[in-house]
Amino acid sequence: MYCYSGMADVAAETGDTDYHSAVLSLWDNMVNKKYYVTGGIGSGETSEGFGPNYPCATTPTAKRAQAAVHLLPIQTQPRLPRCEFADLYEETMYNALLGSLDLDAKNFYYDNPLVSNRSRYPWHACPCCVGNIPRTLLMVPTWTYVKARTLFT
């Protein structure tokens, strides 16, 4: 997802139609063939990459919180406007990212299992989530906006 997020930035900054087309093609494949109903995306069975289309994994390798961290910037890229991006932003944010945290936001799941009896943990052998989850949550105000003269009640 790091690479895809960077590609979306390049497409938006340069207006390069090849990058734009590639990002949309990758996003389409990811969302239509690798996206879980919970908003999760994730690892193939043996790597931190994507596996085959239509995974049905309930194993711990699926639905990584880290992948959600890098999916959100693509879904909020204002210069790559597609309503589908916005539709899935909320699902990814609430289920895949916030769902990885406990109520105190001190512990997290790395792998976002669909069902689990184990506790979330404060640290993981792959420590990228430790910093990327709070960094992403701090970006939410920059991705959230309303265009109206009055507030809706």
Residue 64, both tokens: 């990584």
pLDDT per residue rounded down to tens, the chain (153 residues): 778 888 888 988 898 999 889 988 988 888 888 887 777 776 555 566 677 787 766 555 556 777 777 778 777 776 666 677 777 888 888 888 888 888 888 888 877 777 778 888 787 777 776 778 888 888 888 776 656 666 544
User: What is the C-alpha to C-alpha distance for residues 67 and 51, in angstroms, rounded to an integer?
Assistant: 13
Q: How many CB atoms lie within 10 A of CB 80?
A: 18
Residue 138, both tokens: 């701090």
**Burial track 108-122 (b if 16+ CB lie within 10 A, e otherwise):** bbbbbbeeeeeebee
User: What is the model's pLDDT at position 153?
Assistant: 46
Cα atoms in the 13 Å half-sphere on the side-chain side of 112: 28
